[in-house]
Every structure is written in C-alpha cells, then in structure tokens.
Structure 1
Amino acid sequence: MLSSLFKPAWQSGSVEKRLRAISSMDGSSVEKQEILAQLATEDVEASVQIAAINKLTSAVRLHELTLNSANDSVRLKAENRLNEVLGENSSLSDQDYRELISRFPELKVRIAAQATTAAIRAEVLQNIPTEQLLEVLELTIYSDSRQQIAERVSAIEMLESARKTLRGKDKTAERVIKAKIDEIRKVARQNAENLNTVEKLIDEVEYLASHDWLSEFKAKLLAHRNHWDNLQFEVNEKLRQRYKVAREIIDSRYEEQKVIEETHHSQDQVVDEIEVFLKRSANMDLAGSIDGLKESLERQKQFGARWQELSVKARPTLIKDELVDKMLRALQSASELLTEARGVLQPEVVSEQTETGSSKETSDISKVEKASQKLNSVLKKLKWPSDFGEFKSKTELLLQLTNWKNAQKASAVEYQERLDSVHKKIGSIFHFSRTGNLMRAKQFYERTEKRLHQFNEKDCSKLEERLAEAHEALDKMGDWKNFATEPKYLELCDAMELLGKSKHHPDKLSKEIKDLQKSWKMLGHSDISDQYWPRFKEAADKVYQPCAEFFDKRHKTRKDNLQQRQQIVDQLRELLKNTDWDNSPDYKAVQSSLRSLGEKFSKIKEVEHGPGQKQWKVYSTLKDDVYEKLNVAYEANIVLKQELIKQVIVLAEGTARQENLASLKILQTRWKQVGVTRRNADQKAWKEFKKQGDLVYSNVQQLRQGERDEIDLQLNAYRNIVKEIKQLAKTAKDLSEADQQFVVLQEKYENLPELPDQLPEKLVEGIQRDYQHACDLFDNSHSRIINSMHNRQIEMLRKKAILCVQLEALGEAASEQELQEITQQWDAIELHDSALSRRIEKRKRSAQTSLDRKQISAQRRLLCIQLEITKGVESPAEDKNLRMQYQLDQMNELGLGHQTSDSKEQLEMMELDWLCMPGAEAEQQKILDERFQRVLQKK
C-alpha cells in the first residue's frame, strides 16, 4: 500500500499528474525516453500518449506506434512526430538512417523525402522503385532531391504528374521535367511524322500504279523515287514490301511511256523545224523566194515523209497533226504562187519607172494594168492562214502594183496645185487694182506672165485670157485715183463734226480726234485736201474744247494729291531721322509705323506722272533706308528662329522620349520672345517650326500609344490565358484532353515575358490572383470530372449488382434464354474500373454456384449492423444482441476510446463491399438490401 503511495508521478492514476510529469521530463535522457515510450504505447488515455509522443526522439518507437496504435489521433500524432524526427530538425546520423531503412523498408519514402543529409536522400532515391518517386516528390522540400527525381523519371504519365506537383515550387526541377516531356513529345511527333510520310509515299505510288498513265505521273514518280531513296530513317519490312510491289508496276509503265515521249519529242522537233522554215519563207523577200523555190519544194517533200514515219511509231495529238497539215498546205500554196508569179513578173515590167510631169506619163498605163490583173488572179489562189503572219513576197507583189498608181496620183495633184496658184495670183492683180495699190498689182502681173509656159495648151489659153483682163483693169485704175479721194475727205470732215455730239469720256474723245487726224495725213496732200482742211480743223478745235477743261481740272487734283503724298514722305523722313537706331529701338513700333505710312501713300494714286515719279523715288529711297535699319534686326531675329528650328528638328529626328514635350514647350516660348522679322521669311520659318513641332508631338504620342499598346498586349496575353483556363474549367469533359490543354496553357503562361515594373502593383497582383483563381477553378473541374467518372462507375456497379440479384434468384435452374438476356444486359453496362469489375464478376460467377447462403446472409446482416453503428441508427430488435456483441468485440480489439467515423470514404467502401458480396438467402436478400439502402441514404 505504501509503495502505491510513493510511485512516480508518470504512473499516477490522475491524467493531469501524468501530463505534468511528462512535461517536466528531460527529453535528452535515455531513461526518460524509455518511460516516454512506455507511456506512448501503454497508457489508456490518448492525451497522455500524445504528450509522450511529443517528447519521443526514437524514430523506431514512433514508427512502431504508427503501425500498432489503434487510436487514430495517436497514430496521426506519431506520424507527424516521426516526420519531425526524420526531417529538418533531425539529429540522426547517416548510419541511423540506413539502419531504419534496413529494419523498416517502408520508411524509404519518408527518409528519401525528409532526411537532412543530401547523401542519404540521394542514396535512398537511387534505390527506391520508380513508382514511389512521385510520393517522395510530394513530400520533400529539398531542391536537390527534386532535381534527382526529375532526372530519374522517364515515363510521360509520371513526368506530367511530377510537373503538376512541382508547379510553382521548384523552377529548376520543373525545367528539367519540361525538357524531358518536350523531348518525349518531340520524338513521338517525329515518329508519327515519319510514319505519316512513309504511308503517304506508299499511298501515292500505289495510286500511280493503279491508274492509267498520265503525263503528270512522270514528275510525281521521279519525285517519289528521290524522296523514298533519301529517307533518313528505317522503314519496317511490311511497308517496304508494299512500296516495292507498286514501284515495280509503275517503273514498267514509265519505260513504255518513255519510248512514246521520245517519239513525241521527235515529232515536236519536226513541228519546230517546219515552223522555222515557214517563218523563214514568210520573211524572205520576193527575189530570194523565187531563187530558192526549188530548195523549198524539196524541203516540203522531206517534211512530209518524216512526219509520216513518226506517226506510225506513235500517234500524234490531233491538234499537232492538224497543225503540220496546215503548215505543209500553206507552204505548197506559197510555192504555187511563186511559180506563177515568176512568169508574170518580166524584168521590164517590174523595173518600169514613171517620169513625173513628162509626156510619157500615160504611155505605159495599159501595160502595167495588164500585169496587175494577172498578179491579182494569182494572189487570190494563195492559201496562207493569217495566224502564220505576213507573207512578205505577197506584200512586195501588192506594193509593186500600187507604186505606179500612187506616182500618177501624186503627179496629178502637183500639177493642179501649180495651176491653182497661178489663178490665185491673177486674182491678186484684180484685188490690188481695185484697192489702188498699182505697184503691187504690176508685180503680180510680171510674175504670172513668166509661168504660163509650164501648162498644157488648154490650161495655158485660159490663163492668158484672164491675165489680159487683169491688165485692162490695171490701166483703168490710174484714171480713177483722184476721183476716189474726195469722198474720203468728206467722210473725215463728217466724222469730226459728229464727235462734237458724242458723250464719250474726254480721254476716249481725245484719242478719237487723234485717230481722225492721222487718217487725214495718210491720204496725202492734194488740191482736194486743201479745199476741205479749214472745215476739218474748225470741227476738231470745237470737239477738243471740253477735253481741255477736263484735263485742267484733273491737273489740279493731281497737284493736291502730290502735296498729300509729300506730307507722308516728310513723316517717313522724320521716322528715319528721329529713331535712335544705335540703342535698341522699338523695332516693332518702327515696323508698324512704316506699314501705316506705306498704306496711306498707296491709297493716293492720282498724281502727275513726272513729279509723281520723282516723289516716288524719294519715298522709295527713304523707305529703303528704314528697311536697311530694320534688316539688321530682321536678320538677327530670323537667325534666332532658324536656330530654334534646328533644335526642334533635333527633337523630331531623335529618339522619341516623354521629356521631349517639355523641351518643345520651352522652344515655343522662346519663339514668341524673338523680335520682328520679315513677313514672308517669318511665315516660312513658322511653317517649318510648326511642322517639326507637330512631328515631335506626334512621335511622343506614338511612343505613348506604342507603350500603351505593348502593355495592353502583354496584359491581354496574361488575361487571355486566364480566360482560356476558366473556359476550359467550364467546358472540360474528357480528363486526359483537359489535362493536356491545361499543361499547354500553363507553359504559355510561364513563358510570357515579365510585366513592366511601372505597372501598378495592384494590377499585377490582380492578374496573379486571377490566374491562381483560374487554376483553382480547373482543379475543381478536374476533381468534378474525376468524381463524375467515379460516380458513373459506382452507378454501373449498382446496375450490375441488380443483375447479380436476378441471377442469384434464378439459381442453377435458370434457362438458357434467361441467362442470355441477363448476359446481354451485363455486356451493355460499361464498367471500366478494373478492380470493381473483377469484384462484381466474382459475384456474378458465384451466382450459379452452390454457396453457403446462410453464412453470406450472416455476413450481410453484420455489414448492415456496421453501417447502422457508423450512421448512428438503431438496429432492428432481433439484431440488438448481435450489435452489442459486435461492439464489445470491437472494444476488446481496438480499445475503449476507439470511435467509428462516418466519413464518405468509409460509407462508400461499405457500399462497395455490399454490392460485390455474393447474394444471401433468397428470402433474406431483398429485406437486407432495403435495410442497407434505407440506412445508407439517411442523412
């Protein structure tokens, strides 16, 4: 009794005392570690076990707890503590790790993932099975281990899973995996391309071998030969044999076709030779054609014989045969023309020339016309197609016939022109005689008389008759001259007197008076002119009187205007004299005054010409003197503006920068501060300055727009991938295809260039947040697809379980038809999960065998009780004792603190066991099924 009073606190019956004792223990003591191991293993209170586990440092003891503890919380805590002991804060040596692996091989994954020394991790990873590498990858935090795993994994499925695990954790290992995935896919794509290339070549050569030969087959066959012979990879024997069979067929056809093509080539050569000879014949002159007529006939005969020979070897095309026949007939027709023309064209006829204007002009007309008729008859027989071009010999024959006719026509036209010219000159004699120009009339008479001998007798007689009449008119003209001038003097006097009644302006009236006086003088002096002069002068003086009064008044006005303009000249002189040009005068005020005086001076225009010109010279001199002073300022200021233009050009042609706008504003302000300049120069300079300034502004705007567009392009690239991932999450149905598309989108996202630093931090964070959200959506979609597929498999399992019930109900007495119907329904149900399929197939096979159905009923009843305990549902009265006995057995086996959880996974496992378990007794199966399903579906 006394010994029980003084036992250690860790052995106390009080839970709190045991916990305090554990808390005060020194974990580094070997003795204390034994006590802690005992408490962790044997204590009945889970909290004490957990407290002891927290101080345990023995990996062996901790692992034994994970294997043997019946309490889930204790086992979980032991696993976590084991991870800590093995992991980052571990004090284990390399030898300790090796001993653990030797004793507990199942710890290889944990040690490979969590060992603190790289050598141990590498050693374990080197010997660990490949299928466990992904488990290590999910657990480890060490980069070198991840990279080693990445180097070892080679299967594409494992690489995809490894990449998904490493996403965002280890870029180096992820790059290694990505490179291996890319290489595998590259090799697969290359193999697929190679196979596609071979099959395509075989299909095409088989197509050539199975069809009648066409002209385009030759190029295809040669291309296929070259392609096949230059393949850089091995082709399997079956495909090679297929190609060989088709190749032998097409090669045989090729040789046959080669002979035909050579014959066709020879036919083409003959056609070309005939065409060359035809063109040469067409372009040969008449004399050469007649001289070579014999040779031409011989060549035509050779062409015909050769063509006939080749046509026997290989039938020419219809078009080519017709062309040869057409060319030979044209050559034959041309030869016939030249043969007949040679007899018609005698040398004296061909070389006959006509002497224009001689008496011989008409002597040979009948001879030439006769030859022309003969040649026309021969030319009509010529059969020379127009598409063969011009037949030069025919053209020369036609030209020979038309030359004489054209010469005769030209001679007749020239003769008529000479005759018309003489008649026109005789008409001029009559004209000048009537107008009183006797000297001019006599000159034309003499010239005409000398040219009469050039014409024939008939025309000459008519010309002499007209010339005699012209001479008679010339003689009469001298007598009528005096008689004719008196009416003109009277006409001038009447016209001057009539001006006195005119209302014309004095300037116009004065001019009309001068014109009449000039006409009077032109008539010359005579007795008749002296008689009428006093009348003419008196009328002129009277008409000029109002003009004189007008001119006096205008003179006075011009004199006044001259005085006003003189005042402006004096003001301009004072401006020049009084302005202090040496001390920076107000050039703008001077310029304004100069312009104002110039406008006033220009408005006063009516002045006398002489004094006005003199005054204008003085004004211009003073104005030039003022502008000479202003020019100094103009030149200096325009130089300043030109310098500003150069500076803005530098901005415009240089690299566009944001600060260029500030520089441009400074230059614009300085431009406004520059003084006066010449108007034209200033406008020209301003246009250039504004043009360059607009370029600067446009360049900066383009820079800004380009930066905005580039940033928008980058942002849109990120956003588009996020949208595609979200869309994929919405629409994904096929798991494999969705995963493949998701990996591609992740690669695209990772390979995007970094966003600019000047972007707002919130914007960048928002994009990253959207990307993570999209990935989460896809993960949810991925889980949804997996769950959906799993649920469909469970549903298919339920359907097959129903068929099993039907089979079990039929028993061994089932008919063949009933079995066949159930088999058909069974085969129509697609169950792809191999494990479930094996289990349900096992139940199906047991349906037609003799089993202890009573024992199976007991097993199903016990499974119902387990489900009812898990769901917290009361069992039927007849099974209460069985339920209590089961619970007592569980407490004895697992301990008092063990509790059954109703997790979804556990419930699903119970349902799978229920569905795959052989059927119970016929009368119990339905009852137990309804009982199980009722409890399973209860919330």
Structure 2
Amino acid sequence: MLFQRFLNKRKQAAAATQQVVASQNQQALDEKALSHADPAARCDAIRQVATPSVLTRILDGETDPMIRGASLERLGQLLCEDGQPPSSSEELLDAFSRIDQAELIDQIARQGVSSQVRRAAIERTASQSTLATCAVQDSLAANRARAAERIEDRPALEQVVREIGKRDKNVLRAARDKLRLIAAREERPKLVRAQCEEICAKAERLGKLGNWTQDRALLEHLERQWSGIQDPIEPEWQSRFAVERERFLDSYEAYRHDNAAQIAAQEALESVRAEREALIQELEIADTLTDASELTALGERIETAWKALAPASGTRDSDLERRYRERCKSLEARRKTLTDRRQAHERLGRLTAKAERLLGESKPLDHKQVQTLLDQGRALAANAIGDETNESFSALAERLESRLRHQRKTAEQRLRQLPERLEELERHLADGELRKADPLYQSLQAGLDLIQSSGLQTAALSDFNHRLRAFAPRLRELQNWRRWGADQHREGLCADMEALIDKELPLAALAEQLHSLQMDWKGLDKTGSPANQSLWERFHQASEQVYVRCKPFMESQATERESNRIARERVCQQLEEFLSKVDWERVEWKKILRAERETRQAWAAIGPTEPRQRKQLERRFHQLLKTLDHRLDKERRLNQALKHSLIEQVQALVDHPDLNTAIERTKGLQREWRTTVPARQKEENKLWQEFRAACDAVFERRAALHQVQAKEMREHLSAREALCDEALGFAATETDPQRLAAGLRDYDARWKALESQPIPRQMASQSHQRWQRARAEIEERRRTAEDRQRTEALDLLQHQAEVCERLESSLLNDRPEDIDPQTARDAWQKLPRQADPDLQQAMETRFAFALEAAADPTRREELRERRALDADRLGQLCLQLEIIAGIDSPPEHAQQRLEYQVARLAERMVEGEDDPLAGATRLLQDWYLCGPAADDRPLSERFERIRRTLESSQQNS
C-alpha cells in the first residue's frame, strides 16, 4: 500500500505538471490573440482561443474588421459546436451579449450548446422561422415554450403545429391557441358588421306593427346589445342606428301623447297581471320545499294576496286564474305527500328501533313476528328512497333476514336430529344415566322451541312433543335418586373432614386436602342436588377446625402471594410508564427488543398470586405486551418494506444508462440497509441475499465497463502512435513551408480530437512527449523552409533592385553607357518572379517607372525628386535594421536611434514577435523597394554589415 500511495502521488504530480503546461500554453495563446502586431498571426491565435472572455475583450477594443470577424467566428464555434473547451454559463452569456449579427444570433438560438445561451438567443432573435425551429427542436421544454410564446406569424405557427407532433403538448397547445386567436382576430370585423346589420334591421322594424309597449322594451334590449359591442363600430352603422332609434322614440312619444288615458289603464292592468304572475311564480317554488308547514304558510299567504288584487278580466286574466288554480292544487298535493311521508318516516323509525331490539336479544326470533315487521317496514320505505332511516332499516332488515335464514337452517338440522336424539334420551333414562339425560332433555326442549319459532310446521312435530313429555316422570325419578346419592357422598366428605382435625400432616399437605374436600363439596352442589342443612353445618364446623390448624401456613402463603402481586403490579406499572413516555419516532429498537425479552423473563420468575388477582394481572400484562408487540410488528413491517424498496431500487439500477450514477446510488442504498426489528432469520437471510445479488450485478457492470474502457484506451493509444508516425513521415518528406504549416494545423486538430479520448495513464506522458517531438520536427522543417524561402526571396529582390538601380543611375547621371533600357528589360525578364504577388507587383512598378523615365523627361524629373526623398527613407530603414540586428549606429544618429527604440518598445516590435527576423525581413523588403538614392558609401557599408549580421543570426538560429 505504501508503494501504491507513492506511485499515485507521482501520477498526480505528473498530471498537475501537464495541467500547468497546458495553462501556460493557453495564456501565451491568449496574449498573442490580444496584442500581436501581425493581424494574420492574431487571427490564427484567435481561432485557437478557448476562453470566451478573451474574445469579448477583443470585440470590445478592436476595430479591425478581419480580427473582429475571426473573433465572432471563434465565439460562434465556442457557443454552438460540441467538443469545445468547457466554460461557465455566466461567461458564455456575457460573451453572447457582445454579438449583434442577426445571422449568428439565429444560429446560436438553433445550435447553442448551452440551454441558457439558447434561451438568451431566443429572446433576442427577430426571425420567426428561427423561433419556429427552436419551438420544435430545442431540447429544453422551457426554451421551446418561450420560443412558441414569441411567435406571432401565422406560417411559423402552422410550421410548429405541423412538426411538433406529440413531443410537446404544451407547445402544440400554445401554437394552436395563437392560431385560433389570429383566426378570430381576422374574423372579428365580419362578426361585428353582421351584428350591427342585425341590430339595425331590428331597429328599423320597431313601431311598424303598432306594438308600442313591446317595441319599447325591445329597444332597450337592442341598446344593451349595441353598447355591448367591444370592437370599434364604423360611422355608417353608428349613424344608421342613431337615426332609427330617434325615429322610434319620436313615434313612441307621439303615441303616448295621443293615448295617455288608455296607456295608463293598460299599465295599471299590466301591473296587476305582473303581480299575479309573480304570485304564480312564487307558487312554483313549492316543488323545492320539503316542509309541509312551510307549504301551508306559503299557500295561505299567496291566497290572501291573490284575493286582495283587482278582479280578473279578459282572456289573459282567465289564463292566469287557471294557472293559479293548477298551482294551488299542485301545492296541496305536495303538502299531502309530505305529510304522508313524514308519518311514514315516523312509523319506519319505530319499526327500525324494534328491529334493533330484536337483533340485540339472544333468544330465537319469532318468524311470524319478524316477517310482519319486515313487510310493514318495506312498505313504508318504498316512498323514502335515499332517506337515512330507510337506509338504516334496509341494513337491519338484511341482518334480520340473515339471522332468520341461519336460525331456520339450524332448526331444520335440529328437526332432522330429533328422532335419533329422542332414542338416545330414552336409552340414558333406561340406563339411569341422569348426568347425560338431563342436559340432553333440556337441549331437546330448546330445539323444539326453536323449530316452532322458526315457522317449521310438520306433521311429526306434535308426536315429538308428546314423546318428550312422556320422558319427564322418569327424569324426575332419576333426579330424586341423584339427590339421595349426593347426600351419601356428603356424609363421606364430613367424615373425611373430621378425620383431618387430629391427623398429623405437614401444614402444606393438610391445607391441600382441606381445599380438595371443599372443592368436592362444591362439585356436588353443581350437580343440582341441594345439600342437607345438618350435613352442611357438620361439614362447615369440621372445616373451620382444620382451617385453624392451617391458618399460619395459609397466612404465610397469602403474604407471599401479596408480595408477588405487588411485584407483578410493579412490572405492569413500569411497562405502562415506558409505553406512555417512549418517543416511537426516535426509538432504539434493539434496546426495545432487549427490554421486552428481559420483561418477559422477569414476569415468569415471579411466584404465584391469588387466583382472583392472577387473571386480572395476567390480562393487564399481556395487554401491555400486545401494545408493545403491535409497535414492534409495525416497525418490523416498515423495516421489511424498506428492505424490499431498497432491493427494487438496486434492481432498477442494474440497467441504468449512467453507470457512475448507478454505482453511487447503489453505495448510498447499501448505507441505508439496516435492521431495526428483525423478522425470522430465514426471511432476513433471503432478503439480504436478494439485495447482495442486485448490488453485485451493478458492480459487475462496472468491471465489464472497465474492460471495455481498457480496450478502448489501448485503441486510442494506437491511434495516437499512428498519428505520431504519420507526422514524422510527413516531416521527413515535405519541403514546402505552406504545406508544412497546413499539415501542422491538420495534425494539431487531429491530435486535439485524439487527446480528448482517454488512454492508459502510464502511457500518457510518453505519448505526449512523442507527439511533441513529432510536432517540433514539423515546426523545425517549416521554419527551415520559411527561412530558405525568405532568403531566396531577398536574394531575388536584391537582384531586381540592382537592375532597377543600374537603370535609374544611368538615367539620373546621364551615363547611357552604364545600361540602356533594352538591356535592363532583357536582364529583368531573365530574373524569376517573386512568390509574393504584392512584392512582385511593387518591384515591377519601380522598374516600369524607371522605363517610363527613360522615354519621358518629365518622368525623369520626378525620378530625380524621388531620389532626394528616398535618401532620408533609406537612412531611417538602416537605423531600424541596426536596432534589430543589434549593431551600433554612428554617434551622430544616437538621438534618432533612441527615439526609434522607444517607439519600437511601445509597439512591442520585438517582445510581441515570435521571430525577430520577421521584422527585419519587412524592413529589408522596404529597403529594396525604395526608389533611387544618391550614392552614399557609408550608408551602403552600414547596410552590408547589417546583411552579414542578419545572415549570421539566421544560420545560428
């Protein structure tokens, strides 16, 4: 174990070292993405950044479109693509808030890896199609619901309804509700127009038929309908309704003015009719009343009010009178029905009480009496359906019938047994066996009474009664002989008791014989033979004398029994006190079991008590134990249920898709397994074996999974080894720097994909080192190829510049013999082209300008002016090259050199570059691209020294 811990510590240290190295690499990459001078290098670094906060910093402070585009592209990858480095939800949400491109927001809403980021994108997107896609395809129900809430476009809603199916009923319901609202909103104007048309048409018909009173009421109804329209009403309909309303009101007022007296009389008549109608409506509520007295009071009150009204006249009043009489008859009929029902209810209650009394009696039921009661009760209960008394009587009737059936069945059995039992009684009487004959005679007499009460009337029943009465004299004769025999036995008991008065016996034996003789005397009394008074006095006097001898022993026995009684009561009291105070929610069941066992043992160890007290104490003690055992049984059942539940939970975890979760839950369930109150050992063992088998099945899955994982890790290791071999072969055969760089990026991406797959821990460090060596080999080949390519490009650039300088010098110094344009053109065409098209174009522009200057004096003057300006430019370039190469500058340029150094530090020209020669290359290119300059030998010597130094540095690197 010590060695194992030591190895684990070494593995942990190696893993920690790898994490530190990876963190340092990521920090360097972040720094390069934030502040590198070369935009292309920054873009390459941005494409590998794994932290959203770095990208947000770039977006906040960067204005370069190319860098912002690369940052947004990488941010979209981090937010949308699986397999990206993990980040917190807060960091992803903060990064998403910097995005303002609608297309990227739509993409994140559909493909975002974080549900919270997708929710934020759903809140910001304005695309209805994107919202429809999210409402259908988002994996989170809350996101789907929010997307459905934001959809307002009919086609998008129809798409959701068409594609969602049964996957999300809430989204489907919301989309359908919105579609219905849209349809209702579109249909609402038509409905409003139709409603306005209908109301106006009715208003136009008002007053046309002369029904002024009805039309006036109808106008009020139309006005309520018109004001109840919620939507805006077109002015045309408003005007039309107002015109018709005013027309009718004017006509109505004219009608009232012309017929004022008739209208008043009509209104008075209508008022009386309205009162009559109200009284009739009050009578209609009689159907809802259940009290006869209330019905009587209601009828009297309405009759008084009806008679107080004006006499009826006309057909309508006759109809009201007819309806009133019909309702009065209906009220009277209902009152009579309620009265009869109440009386029946009271009678049924009395019958129910009588049925309860019969069921409470132990004597046999009288069949005729019970049948009459049942018939009467059922006749009364027929009109009381649902009443409580009816239900009670029905239940009692079923019990009475059941008891009658059982009684009749018993009576039939007794009737079949009568002949045989009468013969048995006859044999016992003939043999003089009074002890058997007497109870059999009483049983036969009770059986005959039961048969007669049960309503069994047969021809043989009277014969059985006659035969039983014939046996009565013989039975009385045997009873007399038994009384004589009992007296003889009592005389023997008296003699035995008198013999004990002077008999020398231990007090315990003497007390036992005294008790035995007393019990024999009581046994004779129970046989039904009363004792002779003189014999009883004789036996009692002798018993008293024997008792005086046994009294000391009996008193000691009584004292012992009393102490035993006190001990038993103390045990009961302790047990009662314990049961009253124990908290059954937080009890230690093992202590309870031990206490119960000890209590039983203590009770059994206590001696005897008085018989009259022993039964009471035993009943009290066993009742307390029953209460305790009930608690124990309840806890035992709960514990058994808990164990069964644990077994079911573990068995369900055997097929759980997440093995780690299954194992953790299984361990937790193992910790929950406990025994509070055990059942039988066989049952406990069976449950434990089932639980253990289920747990083993879960852990066996882990073992099998470990084997599969080990195989997969070996395959992953083989894939890494193959990638390293492929990378080394690529580095050995490829020479083009661009293809080497592209290949390195491809290998990096493939290695990153493989690196996310686990391999054996002991091989991780070795595999990583081999990859680093292969990668370093490709990188070295790429740098070597780039250096060679850069050197060749500079050499070619130098040759091109020499051709241009010779032509420019010949033109500016007016020495055509140096080189003529045609010769320069031929020399230029013999030179190869630059790999960089921009650099080639710049040199061709310089050469073309020189050729134009050869043919055009104006151009030549421009060339001359440019030479004066280029001298200063060459001096600045030389000074910067000396700073990069680390060469001292002439003393007269010290101040200018210091200024350049400060500026260079501010721009991080050296510290921010991976390759210092890259800055020198750009300056050398600017040197050769610079136009004609006056001959300056010191400057040329300084430049040559710089070239030699840079070439030496390149070779050394």
Larger Rg: 1
- TM-score, normalised on structure 1? 0.31
- TM-score, normalised on structure 2? 0.31
